[in-house]
Amino acid sequence: MSDTLSETNFVQLEIFPSRLLKPETAQNLLTSIAEIDGIVRLFVHGPRLPQTVPYGPASGLPVNHPGNAVIEVAGQAIELAVYVGSIRMEVVDVDTKEQVREVCEDVLSIPFEFREGNFIPTKQTVTDYAKRGPGADPMMIGMTDPKGKLKDQPVCILKPEDKDE
Protein backbone atom coordinates (compact mmCIF):
# COMPACT_ATOMS: atom_id res chain seq x y z
CA MET A 1 0.00 0.00 0.00
CA SER A 2 1.64 3.22 -1.11
CA ASP A 3 -0.57 5.63 0.83
CA THR A 4 0.65 5.19 4.41
CA LEU A 5 1.13 7.43 7.38
CA SER A 6 4.79 6.42 7.67
CA GLU A 7 5.77 9.25 5.31
CA THR A 8 4.66 11.80 7.92
CA ASN A 9 6.54 12.78 11.06
CA PHE A 10 3.78 12.43 13.65
CA VAL A 11 4.76 11.87 17.27
CA GLN A 12 3.18 8.79 18.85
CA LEU A 13 2.34 8.91 22.56
CA GLU A 14 1.03 6.53 25.18
CA ILE A 15 -0.61 7.54 28.45
CA PHE A 16 -0.37 4.59 30.81
CA PRO A 17 -2.14 5.15 34.16
CA SER A 18 -1.06 3.03 37.14
CA ARG A 19 -4.54 1.48 37.28
CA LEU A 20 -7.57 1.02 35.03
CA LEU A 21 -9.68 4.16 34.64
CA LYS A 22 -13.34 4.37 35.63
CA PRO A 23 -15.67 5.50 32.84
CA GLU A 24 -16.10 8.96 34.43
CA THR A 25 -12.34 9.54 34.63
CA ALA A 26 -11.86 8.26 31.09
CA GLN A 27 -14.59 10.62 29.87
CA ASN A 28 -13.00 13.62 31.60
CA LEU A 29 -9.55 12.80 30.24
CA LEU A 30 -10.71 12.07 26.68
CA THR A 31 -12.90 15.19 26.58
CA SER A 32 -9.97 17.36 27.68
CA ILE A 33 -7.64 15.71 25.15
CA ALA A 34 -10.21 16.09 22.34
CA GLU A 35 -10.16 19.87 22.85
CA ILE A 36 -6.45 20.05 21.93
CA ASP A 37 -5.66 20.94 18.33
CA GLY A 38 -3.02 18.80 16.66
CA ILE A 39 -4.21 15.33 17.61
CA VAL A 40 -4.25 13.18 14.48
CA ARG A 41 -5.81 10.00 15.89
CA LEU A 42 -6.31 8.39 19.27
CA PHE A 43 -7.56 5.12 20.68
CA VAL A 44 -8.11 3.56 24.06
CA HIS A 45 -6.57 0.22 24.92
CA GLY A 46 -7.39 -2.20 27.70
CA PRO A 47 -9.05 -5.46 28.69
CA ARG A 48 -12.30 -6.23 26.91
CA LEU A 49 -15.51 -5.92 28.92
CA PRO A 50 -17.92 -8.83 28.49
CA GLN A 51 -21.37 -7.89 27.20
CA THR A 52 -23.05 -11.21 28.01
CA VAL A 53 -22.32 -14.05 30.42
CA PRO A 54 -20.32 -16.58 28.35
CA TYR A 55 -21.15 -19.79 30.28
CA GLY A 56 -22.89 -21.20 33.34
CA PRO A 57 -26.50 -20.97 34.48
CA ALA A 58 -26.77 -17.29 33.43
CA SER A 59 -25.28 -17.92 29.98
CA GLY A 60 -26.44 -15.32 27.46
CA LEU A 61 -27.74 -12.81 29.99
CA PRO A 62 -26.35 -9.27 29.89
CA VAL A 63 -23.49 -8.48 32.27
CA ASN A 64 -24.23 -5.73 34.79
CA HIS A 65 -20.72 -4.29 35.09
CA PRO A 66 -19.91 -0.70 36.15
CA GLY A 67 -17.36 -0.44 33.32
CA ASN A 68 -20.04 -1.03 30.67
CA ALA A 69 -21.00 2.59 30.23
CA VAL A 70 -21.73 5.09 27.52
CA ILE A 71 -19.49 8.14 27.77
CA GLU A 72 -19.72 11.41 25.88
CA VAL A 73 -16.58 12.76 24.24
CA ALA A 74 -16.58 15.85 22.00
CA GLY A 75 -20.38 15.79 21.89
CA GLN A 76 -20.52 12.17 20.70
CA ALA A 77 -21.78 9.17 22.69
CA ILE A 78 -19.30 6.28 22.80
CA GLU A 79 -20.04 2.88 24.32
CA LEU A 80 -16.96 1.60 26.12
CA ALA A 81 -16.10 -1.95 25.09
CA VAL A 82 -12.90 -2.01 27.16
CA TYR A 83 -11.68 -0.88 30.55
CA VAL A 84 -9.39 2.05 29.73
CA GLY A 85 -5.89 0.84 30.58
CA SER A 86 -3.92 3.11 28.26
CA ILE A 87 -4.50 5.76 25.64
CA ARG A 88 -2.41 5.80 22.49
CA MET A 89 -2.35 8.68 20.05
CA GLU A 90 -0.56 10.47 17.26
CA VAL A 91 0.06 14.19 17.51
CA VAL A 92 1.56 16.61 15.00
CA ASP A 93 4.43 18.02 17.03
CA VAL A 94 6.19 18.32 20.39
CA ASP A 95 4.12 21.37 21.42
CA THR A 96 0.95 19.28 21.19
CA LYS A 97 2.71 16.54 23.17
CA GLU A 98 3.37 18.97 26.02
CA GLN A 99 -0.27 20.15 25.96
CA VAL A 100 -1.39 16.51 26.30
CA ARG A 101 1.01 16.00 29.21
CA GLU A 102 -0.41 19.08 30.99
CA VAL A 103 -3.98 17.83 30.51
CA CYS A 104 -3.02 14.45 31.98
CA GLU A 105 -1.41 16.07 34.99
CA ASP A 106 -4.54 18.19 35.56
CA VAL A 107 -7.15 15.44 35.10
CA LEU A 108 -5.50 12.31 36.50
CA SER A 109 -5.14 12.13 40.25
CA ILE A 110 -3.17 8.87 40.02
CA PRO A 111 0.41 8.30 38.85
CA PHE A 112 0.83 7.64 35.13
CA GLU A 113 3.55 7.00 32.61
CA PHE A 114 3.78 9.29 29.60
CA ARG A 115 5.73 7.62 26.81
CA GLU A 116 6.83 8.57 23.32
CA GLY A 117 7.49 5.76 20.86
CA ASN A 118 5.89 3.64 18.14
CA PHE A 119 2.56 2.28 19.37
CA ILE A 120 0.29 2.46 16.30
CA PRO A 121 1.17 0.64 13.06
CA THR A 122 1.96 2.98 10.18
CA LYS A 123 1.63 0.38 7.42
CA GLN A 124 -1.36 -1.81 6.65
CA THR A 125 -1.31 -5.06 8.62
CA VAL A 126 -2.88 -8.39 7.65
CA THR A 127 -5.77 -7.67 10.04
CA ASP A 128 -6.33 -4.24 8.46
CA TYR A 129 -6.36 -5.84 5.02
CA ALA A 130 -8.77 -8.58 6.11
CA LYS A 131 -11.16 -6.15 7.83
CA ARG A 132 -11.09 -3.19 5.41
CA GLY A 133 -9.56 -4.39 2.15
CA PRO A 134 -6.68 -3.08 0.02
CA GLY A 135 -8.08 0.44 -0.45
CA ALA A 136 -8.58 1.23 3.23
CA ASP A 137 -8.39 4.76 4.58
CA PRO A 138 -4.81 5.39 5.80
CA MET A 139 -6.16 7.02 8.98
CA MET A 140 -7.77 3.69 9.93
CA ILE A 141 -4.51 1.69 9.78
CA GLY A 142 -3.85 0.05 13.12
CA MET A 143 -7.30 0.95 14.44
CA THR A 144 -8.74 -2.53 13.92
CA ASP A 145 -9.67 -4.82 16.79
CA PRO A 146 -8.46 -8.27 15.67
CA LYS A 147 -11.08 -10.00 17.85
CA GLY A 148 -13.91 -7.62 16.93
CA LYS A 149 -16.74 -8.61 14.63
CA LEU A 150 -17.26 -6.77 11.34
CA LYS A 151 -20.68 -5.53 12.44
CA ASP A 152 -19.20 -3.97 15.60
CA GLN A 153 -17.28 -1.10 13.97
CA PRO A 154 -15.99 0.47 17.23
CA VAL A 155 -14.00 3.23 15.48
CA CYS A 156 -15.47 6.62 16.27
CA ILE A 157 -14.45 9.78 14.37
CA LEU A 158 -14.59 12.66 16.85
CA LYS A 159 -13.73 15.49 14.46
CA PRO A 160 -15.21 14.50 11.09
CA GLU A 161 -14.93 18.08 9.74
CA ASP A 162 -11.12 17.85 9.93
CA LYS A 163 -11.14 14.78 7.68
CA ASP A 164 -12.20 16.84 4.62
CA GLU A 165 -9.17 19.12 4.81
Classify burial at 64, counting beta carbons within 10 Å of its beta carbon; exposed 0-12, middle 13-18, buried 19 or more: exposed
Give residue 120's Cα distance to chain centre.
10
Q: Going residue by residue through the chain (165 aa), what tens digit of pLDDT does each one get?
A: 344 444 567 899 999 999 999 999 999 999 999 999 988 888 888 888 888 888 999 899 998 888 888 898 888 888 888 889 999 998 999 999 999 999 999 999 999 999 998 887 777 777 767 777 777 777 667 666 666 654 555 556 656 554 444
| pTM of the predicted model as reported, rounded to 2 decimal places | 0.76
Sorted by where each starts, the structural domains of the chain and their CATH numbers stand as 8-122 (3.30.70.260)
Q: How many Cβ atoms are within 10 Å of 57's Cβ, its own excluded?
A: 6
